[in-house]
Amino acid sequence: MDTEVTEKVEFPSWLKRRLPANYQDLKVLSKKLEKAGLHSVCQSAHCPNQGECFSKGTATFLLMGNICTRRCTFCAIKKGKPSSLDENEPERLANTCKDMNLKHVVLTCVTRDDLKDGGAMHFVNCVRSIKNKIPGVTVEILCSDMKGKRESLEKLLSYPPEILNHNIETVPSLYRKVRKGAIYERSLELITRTRDIDPNVFTKSGLMVGCGETDDEIFMVMQEMVNAGCQIFTIGQYLAPRNSPLPVSRYVSPEKFLEYKEIGHEMGFLSVHAGAYVRSSYLAGDILQKILDRRVDQQ
């Protein structure tokens, strides 16, 4: 199937959103994170869902600072030389998660190519602190490719989360343009290695649409992700950050997102979440719970 192409890309009506009714909660939570010296990817990456998620008292935590060592054109996070790791971050993070009464915690990070293990041990310390502080909590890690080092991934999974997420982001033909410093095959391999190292950890990945890819390329990536062992997949609309050199090539319709979801389930994913404002960690706890509930029903 070929992608829909229009000469002029206009912002469609279905992407327009209102602020949540309890918008003040967003400010309250923002101040709480600031006071704890923590970052959320919701704010750093200008996520379109932050109003909705913050109003529910949830957030995806951005570890290891808010400056990334890579220069992906699609991302709004600051690029440059990051600061040293904060050894007290795991404890502050756990206390904040407990204070927020979280049942499912999503942890991500800026890419730290300056660190030998890509930040794997820091992730472990954070997961351990959270689980020690909050009995029964589930944790999802959204990690970088850690330069493809298996030993870094093994270290990361030594104190395993419930979900290991690593976004494929875009199709192979656009990697040099969209995801500089990353390698498509390396990201696929990370998913396969995760299943090999600890098959009890759910694997997850995500894709943006609207960067210049075709539907045929999207379906190819989805199938290769299934073949690699990916179990949970998200597909969302790319929205260009301010001053980004990468323009939006198209706005995908709700009907097309539904098609992606249906085809993804046919391919064999345990869960496919697709929609204009879907992001990797959007409704992450709900998705995990549905999968776990289905497994109980099938027993």
How far apart, in whole angstroms, are the C-alpha atoms of residue 71 and residue 76? 10
Domains of the chain in sequence order = 19-298 (3.20.20.70)
Helix, strand or coil, per DSSP, at residue 60: strand
Tell me which residue of 178, 253, 284 sits closest to 221, measured CA to CA. Answer: 178
Considering the entire predicted model, what is its pTM?
Answer: 0.86
* Tens-place pLDDT, residues 169-186: 999 999 988 888 889 999
Backbone torsions φ then ψ of 68, nearest 5 degrees: -100, 145
CB 208 within 8 A of CB 75: no
Least confident of 38-47, 110-119, 250-259, 280-289: 38-47
Q: What is the DSSP string of 88-148?
A: THHHHHHHHHHHTT-SEEEEEE---TTSTTTTHHHHHHHHHHHHHHSTT-EEEEE---GGG
Strands 138-142 and 67-68, bridge-based pairing: unpaired
Average pLDDT over the chain reads 84
Give 79's Cβ-side CA count (13 Å radius): 11
